[in-house]
């Protein structure tokens, strides 16, 4: 059914452009009560159109100011997070009507109106329409027009289009660079975001709060703590004016340090905040949980409540994750039930966290029942967490059901097939395993590429499994071979049970494990980072069981502190022990190897 519009507005679509333009700028609009009402944000689109109708009926010809207010009001109404399909269609119709009116009245010759129209279309996700306005804008365009388009593409996830518009800009200001950095961060191109920021600094632009928050996000995802520390120092300089009182920057700093495993520095920033908010507390609680400090995270949550801060949905996600990282099943259940005491209705993510907590603790059937009984349909991420628990505890019964469900939900994600294949293989069900393998090949499903990042001397180095692109590849491979020989002397044997299924030969599997991306990053770190400085590695996937054991042994034999952040949490390896206490890896029993290593050292 087509959206309905106020009938009294429709005749204006037939207003002759000449007569409309003649009266366009004749009457003043500022100070008019109707215009003041139109300037209010967040009102329904129909109400904004009704106000515009009253302005026309009052014989007040619209001015550029009128259209800028109308278009901004419509953009504000379209940014509501809860848009029904009918409401979205009505907003689209309202936007088209406003565009037509602005065109007929000759208002699009004014940059303020063109920019408001661009923002409206971008807020509705109609980037193709916005681009047509930009391409036909001519003299009505200014730097704000181009910035709006770059930002719109960035928020819409089209980094390629954002790059194209940015490259074609006749001039750029700080907002232009900030929008481009943000577009890269939103698209997950964090290295490119830092590169764009470096170009911006090379152009002598002085960064503001917005761009520095985006840079800190990029540093957090890459584990580029040295770049993050540079931003921190810059914020403390007199040139910027300090960060005190800017909770958005302080939260970004806390988040960056937590995601880089620098908890002491995160605490220093957190404790120095004078006026925080719940977002800041959430960042610190979540950071503690991710770094393996579940007890401290729960203590901080209680402290937050004592100080009178009202928890939100994100708070409970962080707290439930803290329970998961410490295996506190009963406390997690209690906290989940307490959400209603704060007027918060559990969402899909909260049920997923509780199911993950149950699954990690070995209660996989209870976790499955929870996901099946939750009031909304679970997403693949919730089922995927349960599948990891099934693999961890080798539960073939629940794992088979969950694995098949995941393949149905994401038929082109090769990782879903690999996990189920491995579960079948470990349990000797080779016929089913071959069926899964054939299904994956027929559908052309691909497994996500594992990437590991390590920062040194201001540069972030990227590695993939079996990588040979790096200038010191020969040295890295020679070191890994030497490490493997030393580990074999103390009884280390590769665990190839989690190697991708298209390798049938055990020797080939062993070679694949030996050159996983995190091992190449580790070799690079040992070769370049001085003794006494932690080796920090970021991996986009979960660390496999064999690499977890390998890192523990290397930390002992080479007396190095190794900090690995994978998709789920931090692993801090010191003297042969991991901070996760092997909670995430069933059947890790290498105490005898550590004792042998100690004897060998002596």
Question: 555-579 pLDDT, tens per residue?
Answer: 999 999 999 998 878 899 999 998 8
Measured CA to CA, the distance from residue 535 to residue 455 in angstroms comes to 9
513 pLDDT above the threshold of 80 = no
CB-CB contact of 404 with 368 (8 Å): no
The encoded tokens of residue 218 equal: 């990029």
pLDDT, one tens digit per residue, over 14-63 is 444 333 333 344 344 555 666 665 666 656 666 766 666 777 777 566 77
Q: Helix, strand or coil for residue 61?
A: coil
Measured CA to CA, the distance from residue 384 to residue 381 in angstroms comes to 5
The C-alpha angle with vertex 537 and arms to 470 and 185, in degrees rounded to 5, equals 90
The encoded tokens of residue 256 equal: 């960056």
295 inside domain: no
344 pLDDT above the threshold of 90 = yes
Q: Enumerate helices (H) and strands (E) in the chain, giving the number of each.
A: 30, 6
What is the chain's alpha carbon radius of gyration, rounded to the nearest angstrom? 29
User: Mean per-residue pLDDT for 146-167?
Assistant: 96
Q: Helix, strand or coil for residue 453?
A: strand
Choose the most confident range, by mean pLDDT, from 103-107, 442-446, 525-529.
525-529
Beta-ladder partners of 564: 537, 571
Measured CA to CA, the distance from residue 306 to residue 379 in angstroms comes to 34
181 inside domain: no
552 inside domain: yes
User: Mean per-residue pLDDT for 481-491?
Assistant: 89
260 pLDDT above the threshold of 70 = yes
pLDDT at 535: 95
422 pLDDT above the threshold of 80 = yes
543 inside domain: yes
Least confident of 107-121, 395-409, 505-519, 537-551: 505-519
Work out the pLDDT band at 497, boundaries 50, 70, 90. low
Q: Which is more confident, 4 or 514?
A: 514
- Non-local (6+) Cβ contacts of 415 within 8 A are 447, 448
Sheet harboring 570-574: ordered strands across? 459-464, 451-456, 535-539, 562-565, 570-574, 577-578
83 pLDDT above the threshold of 90 = no
Q: Which is more confident, 284 or 39?
A: 284
Work out the pLDDT band at 241, boundaries 50, 70, 90. low
CB-CB contact of 356 with 324 (8 Å): yes
pLDDT at 544: 84
521 inside domain: yes
pLDDT at 59: 58
Choose the most confident range, by mean pLDDT, from 33-47, 151-165, 540-554.
151-165
Work out the pLDDT band at 86, boundaries 50, 70, 90. low
Q: Helix, strand or coil for residue 535?
A: strand
Closest CA to 519 of 568, 471, 482: 482
Buried b (16+ CB within 10 A) or exposed e, 88-100: eebbbbbbbbbbe
pLDDT at 229: 94
pLDDT at 85: 55
pLDDT at 298: 95
pLDDT at 349: 93
Q: Is the pTM of this model over 0.75?
A: yes
Residue 430 CB coordination number (10 Å): 10
User: Mean per-residue pLDDT for 224-249?
Assistant: 82
Work out the pLDDT band at 602, boundaries 50, 70, 90. very low
Indicate the number of domains in the chain: 1
**Domain range spanning residue 483?**
454-578
Choose the most confident range, by mean pLDDT, from 56-70, 235-249, 482-496.
482-496
Residue 201 CB coordination number (10 Å): 14
518 inside domain: yes
How far CA 584 is from CA of 221, 321, 545, 571, 578, in Å, comes to 22, 13, 9, 10, 11
How far CA 544 is from CA of 129, 419, 473, 497, 498, in Å, comes to 46, 12, 22, 10, 7
Work out the pLDDT band at 589, boundaries 50, 70, 90. very low
Q: Which is more confident, 594 or 535?
A: 535
DSSP secondary-structure letter at 340? G
Q: Which is more confident, 363 or 65?
A: 363
Closest CA to 551 of 575, 533, 584: 575
pLDDT, one tens digit per residue, over 458-469 is 889 999 988 899
Pairing of strands 459-464, 451-456: antiparallel
pLDDT at 506: 39
Q: Return the percentage of the chain with pLDDT > 70, whole number.
A: 80
Work out the pLDDT band at 88, boundaries 50, 70, 90. low
Measured CA to CA, the distance from residue 413 to residue 393 in angstroms comes to 23
pLDDT at 449: 86
- Non-local (6+) Cβ contacts of 87 within 8 A are none
Buried b (16+ CB within 10 A) or exposed e, 530-540: eeeebbbbbbb
User: Mean per-residue pLDDT for 542-546?
Assistant: 85
Task: Read off φ and ψ for residue 543, nearest 5 degrees.
Answer: -65, 135
Q: Which is more confident, 109 or 250?
A: 250
pLDDT at 67: 79
Instruction: Please report how many Cα atoms fall inside a 13 Å half-sphere around the Cα of residue 409, on the Cβ side.
Output: 16
Measured CA to CA, the distance from residue 4 to residue 371 in angstroms comes to 41
183 pLDDT above the threshold of 70 = yes
Work out the pLDDT band at 512, boundaries 50, 70, 90. low
Work out the pLDDT band at 104, boundaries 50, 70, 90. confident
Q: Which is more confident, 378 or 79?
A: 378
pLDDT, one tens digit per residue, over 354-385 is 999 999 999 999 999 999 999 999 999 999 99
Closest CA to 344 of 278, 408, 394: 278
Measured CA to CA, the distance from residue 104 to residue 219 in angstroms comes to 48
219 inside domain: no
597 pLDDT above the threshold of 80 = no
Work out the pLDDT band at 593, boundaries 50, 70, 90. very low
pLDDT at 350: 95
Work out the pLDDT band at 600, boundaries 50, 70, 90. very low
CB-CB contact of 294 with 328 (8 Å): yes
Instruction: Please report how many Cα atoms fall inside a 13 Å half-sphere around the Cα of residue 76, on the Cβ side.
Output: 16
The mean predicted confidence, pLDDT, of the chain is 83
Task: Read off φ and ψ for residue 191, nearest 5 degrees.
Answer: -65, -40
Looking only at Cα atoms, what is the longest distance across the chain? 97
pLDDT at 10: 41
Least confident of 418-427, 442-451, 505-514, 523-532: 505-514
pLDDT at 498: 53
User: Mean per-residue pLDDT for 406-432?
Assistant: 92
Measured CA to CA, the distance from residue 69 to residue 10 in angstroms comes to 20
């Amino acid at each position: 059914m087509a959206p309905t519009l106020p009938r009294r507005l429709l005749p204006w679509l037939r207003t002759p452009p000449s007569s409309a333009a003649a009266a366009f700028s004749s009457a003043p609009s500022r100070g008019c009560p109707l215009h003041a009402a139109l300037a209010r944000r967040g009102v329904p689109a129909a109400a904004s159109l009704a106000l515009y109708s009253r302005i026309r009926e009052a014989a007040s010809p619209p001015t550029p100011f009128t259209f800028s207010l109308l278009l901004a009001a419509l953009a504000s109404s379209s940014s509501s997070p809860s848009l029904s399909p009918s409401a979205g269609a009505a907003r689209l119709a309202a936007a088209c009507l406003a565009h037509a009116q602005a065109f007929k009245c000759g208002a699009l010759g004014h940059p303020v109106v063109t920019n408001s129209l661009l923002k409206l279309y971008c807020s509705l996700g109609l980037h193709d329409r916005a681009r047509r306005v930009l391409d036909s804008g001519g003299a009505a365009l200014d730097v704000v027009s181009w910035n709006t388009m770059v930002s719109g593409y960035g928020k819409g996830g089209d980094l390629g289009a954002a790059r194209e518009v940015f490259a074609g800009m006749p001039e750029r200001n700080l907002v232009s660079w900030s929008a481009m950095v943000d577009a890269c961060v939103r698209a997950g191109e964090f290295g490119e975001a830092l590169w764009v920021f470096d170009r911006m600094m090379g152009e002598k632009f002085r960064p503001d709060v917005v761009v520095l928050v985006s840079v800190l996000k990029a540093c957090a995802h890459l584990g580029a703590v040295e770049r993050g520390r540079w931003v921190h120092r810059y914020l403390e300089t007199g040139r910027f004016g300090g960060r005190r009182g800017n909770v958005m920057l302080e939260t970004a700093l806390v988040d960056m340090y937590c995601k880089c495993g620098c908890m002491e520095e995160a605490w220093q920033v957190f404790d120095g905040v004078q006026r925080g908010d719940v977002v800041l507390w959430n960042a610190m609680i979540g950071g503690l949980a991710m770094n393996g400090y579940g007890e401290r995270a729960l203590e901080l949550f209680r402290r937050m409540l004592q100080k009178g801060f009202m928890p939100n949905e994100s708070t409970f996600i962080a707290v439930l994750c803290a329970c998961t990282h410490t295996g506190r099943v009963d406390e997690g259940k209690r906290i989940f039930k307490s959400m209603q005491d704060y007027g918060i209705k559990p969402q899909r993510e909260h049920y997923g966290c509780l199911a993950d907590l149950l699954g990690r603790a070995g209660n996989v059937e209870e976790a499955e029942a929870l996901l099946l009984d939750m009031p909304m349909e679970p997403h693949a991420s919730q089922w995927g967490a349960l599948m990891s628990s099934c693999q961890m505890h080798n539960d073939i019964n629940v794992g088979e059901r969950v694995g098949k469900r995941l393949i149905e939900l994401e038929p082109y994600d090769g990782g879903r097939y690999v996990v189920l294949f491995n579960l079948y293989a470990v349990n000797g069900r080779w016929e089913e395993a071959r069926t899964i393998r054939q299904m994956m090949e027929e559908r052309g499903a691909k497994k996500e590429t594992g990437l590991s990042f390590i920062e040194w001397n201001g540069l972030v180095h990227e590695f993939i499994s079996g990588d040979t692109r790096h200038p010191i590849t020969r040295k890295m491979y020679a070191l890994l071979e030497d490490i493997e020989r030393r580990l074999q002397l103390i009884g280390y044997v590769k665990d190839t049970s989690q190697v991708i299924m298209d390798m049938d030969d055990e020797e080939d599997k062993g070679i694949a494990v030996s050159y996983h991306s995190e091992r190449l990053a580790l070799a690079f770190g040992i070769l370049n980072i001085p003794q006494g400085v932690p080796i920090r590695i970021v991996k986009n996937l979960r660390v496999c069981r064999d690499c977890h054991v390998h890192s523990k042994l290397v930390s002992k034999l080479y007396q190095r502190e190794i900090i690995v952040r994978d998709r789920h949490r931090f692993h801090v390896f010191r003297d042969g022990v991991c901070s996760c206490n092997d909670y995430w890896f069933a059947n890790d029993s290498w105490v005898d190897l550590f004792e042998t290593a100690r004897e060998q050292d002596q």
